[in-house]
Structures are given as C-alpha cells and as structure tokens.
C-alpha cells in the first residue's frame, strides 16, 4: 500500500527517468485522417495530411538519433523507443504491425516511401474511438515489464478538430494510467484553430496555462482539458532543444497549429520524452 511518505517521495521524483534500452520510451500517436484533413494547411498549398506525412519523419528523427550508436564503422539502432500508431476517421485503425521499436517504425515508414498512407480518406472524426483504442493499448502497455518503470508514455493526438464525439472522459482515463515514474502524458495538437493567445511562432510560444487563454471555442476548451500539464523535465527539453524556448511552467500539452512552422515544432514534442543529462541536484 502506498503510504503518505511513499506518495510524497513518489511525487518528488516523478518524470525523472532517462530513456534507455532497459526502460524504453513508449509513444502512442493518434492521427486524424478524416475528410477535412484533405484541405490545405492554412498558409500553404498542400493538404494537412501531406504535411503530417512529411513531418512524421521529424517525429522519428529525435528518437532515432537517441537510439543510434556508432559501433566501429557501423550504425546500430538500439530499441530505446517504441511507437504505436493509430489512424482514424469515422473509425480508428492501427498502422502497420502495431507496437514497433524505433527501428521497425522507421523501416515501415521508409518502406512505403516515407508515408503512413494518409489521404484524408477516413470519413468523419470519431475522436473518442481513437482515444479508446489508445487507452485499451496503454492500459496493458504501462503494465508491460518493458515500460512499467519507464518515463511515462506519451499519447500524442493530432487533429484539425470538428470532432463528432467527445473524447474528454476517455482522455481523463488515459491521464490516470501510470508507470512507476508518473502518469501518462496526453498531448493534443489542434491544426487550424484560433485562440486568444498572442504569439508569433514557436520561438515565442508561451503555452496555454489557463483555460481563458484558449478563448471560447468549445473544441479548444475540450482539447485543453484533455491535455496533461507539461512535466518540468519535458518542458526543459523543449526549451533546451529550441522547440519551444519560451514555454511557461505548468503549461498544458495543448498546441494550436497555425502554421507549418508551428506544426513542425509541435510534432517534435514527441521526442522530448525522458529526462536528460544535466540537472542541478542541489
């Protein structure tokens, strides 16, 4: 039974684990492939799904780099990250063979010409079903001996909104799942929405701390509430990596994607999982 002392100790030391082969990172990615994703990304001449396909490689880049070692004259990829990808529209489906280590994921993506097979072809936007699929997987995943001691899993959701179903209750269930290092983190990236927050781009994006920042749009409010609060280790990674250098403490992992530059940076949040080398101990 968790005593009060244990709880205090646990709270103090959450979200501190480094990613390693013994304690790998788990990333669940849920991508909206509904009909509206075939519309152009604002400010560009390409559809939203094409940008997601293009930038999925950016998602993989950081975990791949952190998993690759040079052994003599050869590059070796170690299984320090695993992905589970869900594509959804009116219904969700699992991409490729489900749970894959980072090398398998890159291999699969590369095999199909750096593509996930997106096309804005999956009809409506049944967000709740996608989250339910993610929850069912994570419920088992966080208890798997590979991940139960790891830095908490990240559930990354990308959509252009207009959800036909309310995923908030299931998102709360996902946020209550936990590894020994903390609760699963839910990230929501909302393409094309507008909020009350003033910023120019990733370089000065301050993050959404208060619900009033997101404005009165119901989809914004729902996605804000569906999102976890950024842990300090992750926030420092995002700052140090130059992804969101001005991100405020206690910001939610909710991002409005107004430009392709913002999309590129938001999608890299996935790679900020795990504690890094330098932390002041005293």
Residues engaged in binding other proteins (CB under 8 A): 13, 16-18, 20-23, 57, 60-62, 64-66, 68-70, 73-75, 77-78, 106-107, 109-111, 113-114, 200, 203-204, 236-237, 239-242, 245, 271-272, 275-282
Based on DSSP, count helices (H) and strands (E) in the chain, helices before strands. Answer: 8, 11
Supply the minimum distance, in Å, between the C-beta of residue 199 and other proteins: 10
Supply the minimum distance, in Å, between the C-beta of residue 64 and other proteins: 5
Which of 17, 132 has the CB closer to other proteins? 17
Which of 105, 125 has the CB closer to other proteins? 105
Supply the minimum distance, in Å, between the C-beta of residue 278 and other proteins: 4
Which of 68, 178 has the CB closer to other proteins? 68
Which of 173, 236 has the CB closer to other proteins? 236
DSSP state of 25: E
Which of 62, 256 has the CB closer to other proteins? 62
Cβ pair 206, 251 in contact under 8 A: yes
Query: Which residues are 94's β-sheet partners?
Result: 86
Which of 139, 279 has the CB closer to other proteins? 279
Sign of the dihedral through C-alpha 186, 172, 122, 38: negative
Supply the minimum distance, in Å, between the C-beta of residue 147 and other proteins: 13
Q: How far apart are CA 150 and CA 23, in angstroms?
A: 5
Give the contacts of 197 (CB within 8 A, at least 6 positions apart). 206, 208, 213, 214, 256
Supply the minimum distance, in Å, between the C-beta of residue 277 and other proteins: 4
Q: How far apart are CA 266 and CA 51, in angstroms?
A: 12
Q: How far apart are CA 49 and CA 12, in angstroms?
A: 40
Q: How far apart are CA 15 and CA 5, in angstroms?
A: 18
Supply the minimum distance, in Å, between the C-beta of residue 187 and other proteins: 17
């Amino acid at each position: 039974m968790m005593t009060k002392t244990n709880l205090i100790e646990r709270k103090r030391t959450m979200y501190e684990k480094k990613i390693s082969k013994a304690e790998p990172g788990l990333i669940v990615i849920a991508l909206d492939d509904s009909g509206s994703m075939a519309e152009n990304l604002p400010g560009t001449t390409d559809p939203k799904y094409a940008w997601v396909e293009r930038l999925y490689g950016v998602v993989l880049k950081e975990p791949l780099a952190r998993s690759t070692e040079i052994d003599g004259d050869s590059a070796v990829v170690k299984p320090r990250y695993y992905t589970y990808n869900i594509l959804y529209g009116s219904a969700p489906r699992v991409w490729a063979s489900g749970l894959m280590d980072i090398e398998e994921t890159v291999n699969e993506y590369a095999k199909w010409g750096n593509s996930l097979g997106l096309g804005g072809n999956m009809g409506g936007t049944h967000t709740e079903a996608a989250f339910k699929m993610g929850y069912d997987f994570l419920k088992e995943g966080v208890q798997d001996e590979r991940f139960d001691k790891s830095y908490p899993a990240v559930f990354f959701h990308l959509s252009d909104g207009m959800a036909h179903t309310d995923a908030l209750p299931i998102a709360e269930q996902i946020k209550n799942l936990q590894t020994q290092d903390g609760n699963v983190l839910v990230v929501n990236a909302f393409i094309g929405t507008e909020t009350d927050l003033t910023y120019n781009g990733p370089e000065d994006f301050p993050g959404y701390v208060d619900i009033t920042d997101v404005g009165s749009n119901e989809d914004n409010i729902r996605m804000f509430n569906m999102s976890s609060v950024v842990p300090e280790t992750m926030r420092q990674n995002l700052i140090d990596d130059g992804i969101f250098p001005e991100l405020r403490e206690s910001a939610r992992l909710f991002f409005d994607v107004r430009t392709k530059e913002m999309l590129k940076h938001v999608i890299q949040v996935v790679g900020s999982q795990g504690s890094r080398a330098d932390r002041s101990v005293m």
